[in-house]
Structure 1
Amino acid sequence: MVTVEQVRQVVLGLPRAYEALVRDRIKFRVGQIVFVAFSADETELGFGYPKEERDALIAAEPGKFFLPRVSDLRFNWVEAWMAALDEDEMRELVTDAWRMCVPKRVAAAHLG
C-alpha cells in the first residue's frame, strides 16, 4: 500500500511538477496538465495513461486498476486503488504519467 506522502515525494522530485489543491483534492500538474490526482478520500490514485493501452492494463489486474468516470474517458487516464499498489509500481506509473506531459528532452535529461 502506498501513501499520499510517498506519491508526493516521487512527484515533487520530477522537473516542472507541482502540487495543486482543486476542490479539496490533491492534484499534481505540469503546467496546466494534471498527470496525477487523488480521490477526495485519498483511496484512489488517478494517473495519465495512454488510452489505447488502458483496457489491457485493467484486464490484467482488475482488482487494482479501473476506468475513470464516464466524463473522463476522453482523457488519457486510469484509476488505481492505493491499497493495491506497491511503491515501485507507483513510482513507475507516476513517472510514466509525468513523461507524457513534459518535453522529451526534459524527460531524457531527468531519467538519463
Structure 2
Amino acid sequence: MPDADDVRRIALSFPDTTEKTAWSMPTFRVAGKMFATLPEKETSMAVRCPKAERDELVLAEPGKFWVADHEAFSAWVRVRLSALEDDGELTDILADSWRQAAPHRLLEAHPGLGLASQ
C-alpha cells in the first residue's frame, strides 16, 4: 500500500517538479503549477481530474475517490492512499495529474511519462 513517502518520491521524479508547502501541507508543482497535494494528515492526496471523469471515478470507486466540499466546483479529486493497490496505480494517477498541469514543452519531451503499464 503506497504512503505519503511514495507520493513524494514518485511526484518528485517527474520532470520540472518541485515540492512547496502551501495551506500547511505539501504540494507538488510542475513548472510552478500545482498537480498534487498531501492533505488529511498525508493519508490521502488530491490530484487534478476533469470534472466528468472525476464524477465517474467517485461513482465507480467511492472507497478510493471522493470530492472534498471545497473542491466541488474545481477539477480536483481526492484519493485514499490506503485504497491504492500498488506504486504502479499511484504512479499512473500522479502522472495523469502531472500531464494536466505540465506545459506543452514538457508534454512533448515526455509523452509516455508515468504509464506503469508500458
TM over 0.5: yes
Counterparts of 1:5 and 1:96, CA distance in 2: 19
Alignment of 1:27 onto 2:6:
no
Gaps of 5+ in 1: none
Partner residue in 1 for 2:94: 94
SS at match of 2:20: strand
Q: Deviations over 1:65-91 (max 9, x none)?
A: 11122x222221000111111211110
Deviation for aligned residue 1:40: 4.1
CA distance in 2, matches of 1:35, 1:56: 20
The alignment partner of 1:100 has SS state of helix
Per the alignment, do residues 111 and 8 of structure 1 end up closer, same or farther by CA in structure 2, a change over 3 Å counting?
farther
The ranges of structure 1 where at least 4 consecutive aligned residues each deviate by more than 3 angstroms after the TM superposition are none
Q: 1:40 to 1:61 in 2, by over 3 A?
A: closer
- Alpha-carbon separation, structure 1, partners of 2:55 and 2:17: 27
TM-score by length of 1: 0.88
Secondary structure (helix, strand or coil) at the match of 2:37 reads strand
Scaled by the length of structure 2, the TM-score of the pair is: 0.84
- The residue aligned with 1:41 is 41
**1:75 aligns to what?**
74
Paired residue for 2:50?
A: 50
Q: Among the aligned pairs, what percent are the same residue? A: 34
Query: Is the deviation greater in 87-96 or in 33-42?
Result: 33-42
Alignment coverage as a number of residue pairs: 111
- Cα-Cα RMSD: 1.5
